[in-house]
Structure 1
Amino acid sequence: MNDLLGDVLRAADPGTVHRDTPLSERALSELAAYEAAEAAGTRTPAGAHLVHAESRRPLLARRPGRTSAARTEGRPSNRPGTPRRRMGLAAGAMAAFAAVAIFVIALINPGPALASTPPLLELTPVSGTAPTLLTEMAQMQRTQPAAGSTIRAQMWSLNTSIAEDGSIESSVTEPQRSETVFAADGSVHLVLTAAPPFPGQASAGLPKPGTVLVDENFPSGQWEFPAESGPPTNVDEVGAYLAALTEDPHLSDGQTFREIASILSNFPITRAQESALLGYLATLKSITVAGQTTDRLDRTGIVFQARDRSPDFEDRLIVSPKHGQILAAETLYVGSSRTDIASPSVIDYVAWER
Structure 2
Amino acid sequence: MNDFELARRLSDARPNLPRRGDALAPRAEGTLQGIMTDTMTPSRPRRSSIVFSIAAAVVVLLAVTIGILVIPRPAAVYASATPPLLQPTPINGTSEQLLMDLSSSLKDGETTSTVQIQSWALSMDVGNEGVIEKVSIEPEVRSVVHTSEGSRLEVRRGKPYDSDGRPIQVDGYQVGELIWARDYGPGEFPFMFGPAPVSPLEFGDYLRRPSGAAEWTTGEYIGGLTSVLNERRLTADQSKAALEFLAGLPELNVEGRVMDRLGRSGIAFATETRAPGEFVDRVIVSDEGLGILSVETTYVGHDRTDIQAPAVFSYFAWE
TM-score normalized by the length of structure 1: 0.71
Cα 1:257–1:340 change in 2 (3 A) is same
Letter of the 1:335 partner, please give it: G
- Residue 260 of structure 1 deviates from its aligned partner by 0.5
- Look up the SS of the partner of 1:144 in the other structure: coil
| 1:280 aligned onto 2:245 | yes
Residues 260-283 of structure 1: CA distance to partner in whole angstroms, max 9, x if unpaired?
111101112211111111110000
Counterpart of 2:142 in structure 1 is 178
Residues 149-179 of structure 1: CA distance to partner in whole angstroms, max 9, x if unpaired?
1111111100247899997655335311112
Distance 1:333 1:349 in 2: 12
Distance 1:136 1:61 in 2: 54
| 1:51 aligned onto 2:30 | no
Counterpart of 1:255 in structure 2 is 220
Counterpart of 2:152 in structure 1 is 189
Counterpart of 1:301 in structure 2 is 266
Counterpart of 1:23 in structure 2 is none
| Correspondence list, 1:1-354, <5 A | 29-30=4-5, 34=8, 44-45=12-13, 51-52=25-26, 53-56=28-31, 65=45, 72-75=51-54, 81=58, 90-91=64-65, 113-141=78-106, 143-160=107-124, 170-185=134-149, 187-200=150-163, 203-205=169-171, 207-227=173-193, 229-311=194-276, 312-353=278-319
Runs of at least 4 residues of structure 1 off by over 4 A?
Answer: 55-58, 60-64, 160-170
- Residue 64 of structure 1 deviates from its aligned partner by 5.2
Residues 118-166 of structure 1: CA distance to partner in whole angstroms, max 9, x if unpaired?
111112111111111111122223x423431111111110024789999
- Look up the SS of the partner of 1:131 in the other structure: helix
Residues 71-97 of structure 1: CA distance to partner in whole angstroms, max 9, x if unpaired?
63344xx5573787x9xx65489xxxx
Distance 1:133 1:168 in 2: 43
- Comparing 298-307 with 216-225, greater Cα deviation is found at 216-225
Residues 160-203 of structure 1: CA distance to partner in whole angstroms, max 9, x if unpaired?
47899997655335311112111034x11122211111234764
- Look up the SS of the partner of 1:281 in the other structure: helix
Distance 1:313 1:125 in 2: 21
Cα 1:192–1:239 change in 2 (3 A) is same
Letter of the 1:291 partner, please give it: G
Q: Is the 8 A contact 2:272 2:280 kept in 1?
A: yes
- Comparing 333-342 with 146-155, greater Cα deviation is found at 146-155
* Aligned-residue RMSD, C-alpha: 3.6
Residues 276-322 of structure 1: CA distance to partner in whole angstroms, max 9, x if unpaired?
11110000011011111111111111111010001200001111011
Structure 1 spans left out of the alignment, 5+ residues: 1-10, 12-25, 38-42, 94-110
Distance 2:273 2:100 in 1: 21
- Look up the SS of the partner of 2:108 in the other structure: coil
Cα 1:83–1:303 change in 2 (3 A) is closer
Counterpart of 2:73 in structure 1 is none
- Residue 240 of structure 1 deviates from its aligned partner by 1.5
Q: Is the 8 A contact 1:301 1:318 kept in 2?
A: yes
Provide the identity percentage. Answer: 29
For these two proteins, the number of residue pairs brought into alignment is: 291
Q: Is the 8 A contact 1:80 1:192 kept in 2?
A: no
- Look up the SS of the partner of 1:226 in the other structure: coil
Q: Is the 8 A contact 2:283 2:295 kept in 1?
A: yes
Letter of the 1:320 partner, please give it: S
Residues 194-222 of structure 1: CA distance to partner in whole angstroms, max 9, x if unpaired?
11112347643552112121233211222
Q: Is the 8 A contact 2:82 2:162 kept in 1?
A: no
Residues 228-264 of structure 1: CA distance to partner in whole angstroms, max 9, x if unpaired?
x221111111111122132112211011111111110
- Look up the SS of the partner of 2:105 in the other structure: helix
Distance 2:284 2:298 in 1: 13
Letter of the 1:44 partner, please give it: D
